[in-house]
Amino acid sequence: MPELPEVETMVRGIRPHIEGRRIREVRVPPCRCRPLLIEPRPKTIARRVAGATVDRIWRRAKRVVLSLSTGDAFAVEPRMTGLMLVDEAPDDSHLRLEWVFEPSPQHEVNSLWFWDRRGLGTIRLLTPEEQAVVFGPDRLGTDALEMTETEWREVLSSTRTAIKVALLNQKRVAGIGNLYASEILHLSRISPEVPAQELSRKQISRLANAVPAILNEAIRYEGSTLGDGTYRNALNETGGYQNAHMVYAREGELCPTCRRGTIVRIVQAQRSTFFCRVCQRKPRSK
């Protein structure tokens, strides 16, 4: 589930502890669970990162990136249940990778952990050439927080896909996931079922404003911890934005915006969408 706000929260949480630190070793803890995708093999990783410094920690779409002094970079994709931690983990049995740093007098923490209960996350050490491909425009569009209204008009004008499904296409716009797509469309008063191409200029303008409004607010709350309790920030604390959700997982409740409609759940491209048919009305098809 970690989407843009949660991954951004991870980046901000680990940055003061890890940026500028020299890597002593990278270890795979013993784990009896489904093995994680780690590329290349841990032995090769160990050889390539020995003595390297973590120069910069940043986010590309829904990945945490650790750029190293050697030019290589770790791209960590938490996917469903992955966490980046500099504190105690929710449990010890799902720790997947440990970055150990040379001790330094300014820092209390000497380890960074990747924890993943379901094990669907991925960790890749990428060369500069691989980074150009993996982070490049053929794979990922502009970051959702950097999109201009003009860019929104461009990327949405070329597709008849339902707007909710179009928002999840990372090649069009990078970083929006299933949860925040519902919240963004609700704030924009746009039906998730409208073909992207049919949005009016006014609707696109509202969407362009709603995206940073929702995502930045969620970052301020350090993300959403849903009912399964999995998502935690870098210090193993829950996020707070789940209490601010207007529609997500609120099926059957009275719409808090118009106080007339009832929140409904539909399925689009195998994912749940939550919305209010009253204030997110679908225009009659042309």
Which residues does the annotation mark as catalytic? 2-3, 62, 271
Nearest to Zn ion of 126, 187 (CB atom)? 187
Residue from 261, 264, 268, 272 binding Zn ion (CB under 5 A): 261
Residue from 31, 46, 168, 278 binding Zn ion (CB under 5 A): 278
**Contacts for 157-162: CB closer than 8 Å, 24+ residues apart:** 157/196, 157/197, 158/197, 159/195, 159/196, 159/197, 160/195, 160/196, 160/197, 161/195, 161/196, 162/192, 162/193, 162/194, 162/195, 162/196, 162/268
255 makes contact with Zn ion (CB under 5 A): yes
- Cα–Cα distance between 145 and 60 in angstroms, integer? 11
277 makes contact with Zn ion (CB under 5 A): no
247 makes contact with Zn ion (CB under 5 A): no
Nearest to Zn ion of 67, 203 (CB atom)? 203
Rounded alpha-carbon distances, angstroms, from residue 284 to 161, 195, 198:
17, 12, 11
Nearest to Zn ion of 80, 278 (CB atom)? 278
Classify burial at 183, counting beta carbons within 10 Å of its beta carbon; exposed 0-12, middle 13-18, buried 19 or more.
buried
Residue from 258, 269, 282, 283 binding Zn ion (CB under 5 A): 258
Q: Which two tokens stand for residue 126?
A: 């990428």
Q: At closest approach, how far in Å is the CB of 21 from Zn ion? A: 48
Q: At closest approach, how far in Å is the CB of 195 from Zn ion? A: 21
Candidates 14-22, 108-116, 244-252, 257-265; binding stretch for Zn ion (CB under 5 A): 257-265
In the sheet that holds 73-77, the strands lie side by side as 37-39, 122-126, 73-77, 63-68, 54-60
Q: At closest approach, how far in Å is the CB of 186 from Zn ion? A: 8
276 makes contact with Zn ion (CB under 5 A): yes
* Interactions with Zn ion, residue window 123-152 (CB under 5 A): none
**Which residues lie near Zn ion (CB under 5 A)?**
255, 257-258, 261, 276, 278-279
